[in-house]
Amino acid sequence: MHVGITTLSDNSADFGFLAEWGLSLLIDIDGFKVLMDTGMGVSTVHNARLLDVDFTGLDAIVLSHGHIDHTGGLMGVLRLSGPKKVVAHPDIWKPRFSSRSHPGGRGIGTPYSRKEYERNGASFVLSRDPVRLAENVITSGEVPMRTEYEKLDEGLFYEESPGERRPDPFNDDLSLAIKTGRGLIVVLGCAHRGPVNIMRHLCKVTGEDHVYGVVGGTHLVRADDERIQNTINDFKELKIRKVVCSHCTGFKAAAMMADAFGDRFIFNKAGMRLVFDIE
């Protein structure tokens, strides 16, 4: 089995590529092509051009949640890809805010309406449950919060009705599992519901008992040392062989992971191509 993951957008970039806060990963599973997230703005399309990526060949687009750093590039991708299936959770259009940077709360939600994306070729599959994209590829659906130490980010909100802001529960936080002969490859967006909760949930959904590789954002950027250490301990318990974390992982968590996993840790960047060839 061949799984290739090309990072089109990330907070950091390899030589010659554009860095931008956000995430977009092009995943090729034995020729089945999924775009997981679309970055914040211009970097996904810009870097895709440098890498000769042809978006018309995509089989599906998955949006991990309704934050602009994951959905902001969707319109640009659709203009190049033509009509595509877009898999996400129905809550991705809830207005989203961050209390950081601006005291009144800065809007950080999906930038266009469903109708505008549909006019540009998106056909949405919106589901609270796991969606099977291909034989060995499935989305998580809603992830139950079970670990004691993985908490939601208290600086992030959604608007229930105009002016009524509530802490964001991130019901829409989706991840992806690829079933391989050596365990799951889990692809995270921001992991707002906690990377360990997500991986344990995906093991349950797929009937696997361990995770071969994890790729994406872990949202440990504001976590204390204790939470980071607990996460690392549980990654070890899941027997993860490849830890490829970036985006909202943050410098400290990435450094602690690099220390804990050595050569098994990769700090991912825009422009990098990862290849998992699994017997």
Report H helices in the chain.
43-50, 68-71, 74-81, 114-119, 195-206, 225-237, 251-261
Question: Phi first, then psi: what are they for 214, rounded to 5°?
Answer: -130, 135
Sole binder of Fe ion in the list 69, 172, 208, 234 (CB under 5 A): 69
In the complex, minimum distance from the CB of residue 166 to Fe ion, in angstroms, rounded to a whole number: 16
Chain centre to alpha carbon of residue 180: 19
Q: How far apart are CA 238 and CA 250, in angstroms?
A: 22
> Is 69 or 150 the residue whose CB approaches Fe ion more closely?
69
Q: What distance lies between CA 54 and its chain's CA centroid?
A: 21
In angstroms, what is the minimal distance from the CB of 219 to Fe ion? 7
CB of 97 to Fe ion, least distance (A): 12
Q: How far is CA 125 from CA 89, 104, 205, 210, in A?
A: 8, 33, 19, 28
List the end-to-end C-alpha distance of the chain, in Å, as a whole number: 6
- Between 206 and 249, CB nearer to Fe ion: 249
Binding to Fe ion, residues 187-226 (CB under 5 A): 190
Nearest to Fe ion of 214, 248 (CB atom): 248
What residues from 235 to 274 belong to the interface with Fe ion (CB under 5 A)?
248
x/- track of binding to Fe ion for residues 94-133 (CB under 5 A): ----------------------------------------
Closer of 37 and 208 to Fe ion (Cβ): 37
Selected binder of Fe ion within 67, 94, 96, 179 (CB under 5 A): 67
Q: Would you tell me which residues interact with Fe ion (CB under 5 A)?
A: 67, 69, 190, 248
